[in-house]
Amino acid sequence: MMIPWAVKTSHRGSTHHNNYHFTGLKLYLRKRLGDDSLSPRQAADAARFERRIRRDDVVLTYDPESELGFTYRPRRPEDGCMVLDWPRDVPLPTGEKRAALDLPPEGT
């Protein structure tokens, strides 16, 4: 599992699936996992997501009760290099999926 949250979805009301920040995360993960089918725009959006995480020293977090759902919060030491606020009660993936959750070294 790459996305640790049950993201709010509704056929009649609000949904968080189309949130700009969430879309950036999904594209970033696809890029990190080697998806070469990203369009130039999708690749640019993935790069923009990574730049924001680096520049502002933040991680993406999710609150299903908030209107926006996805927001950034300041990075904490326990976040390590991860790009998102992984819930403590959710097991981390392993292997390449786990590595994709981290920021790569700058310049790679």
pLDDT (tens digit per residue) in 89-99:
888 999 999 99
Q: Is residue 83 part of a domain?
A: yes
**Do residues 1 and 95 make contact, with C-beta atoms less than 8 angstroms apart?**
no
Within a domain: 9: no
For 23-28, the CB contacts below 8 A with 24+ separation are 24/48, 24/49, 24/52, 25/49, 25/60, 25/70, 25/83, 25/84, 28/83
**Is a pLDDT exceeding 60 seen at residue 33?**
yes
Residue 35 placed within a domain: yes
CB 62 within 8 A of CB 17: no
Q: Above pLDDT 90, what percent of the chain?
A: 60
Give the separation between CA 89 and CA 59, rounded to whole angstroms: 18
Question: Which residue segment(s) compose the domain that 79 sits in?
Answer: 20-100
Residue 68 pLDDT more than 90? no
Asked whether residue 105 is assigned to any structural domain, the reply reads: no
Look at residue 2 and tell me if it is in a domain: no
In a domain, 71, yes or no: yes
Judge whether residue 73 has pLDDT over 70. Answer: yes
20 or 80: which leads in pLDDT: 80
The tally of domains found in the chain comes to: 1
User: What pLDDT sits at residue 5?
Assistant: 63
Residue 13, pLDDT score: 58
Task: Calculate mean pLDDT across residues 35-52.
Answer: 97
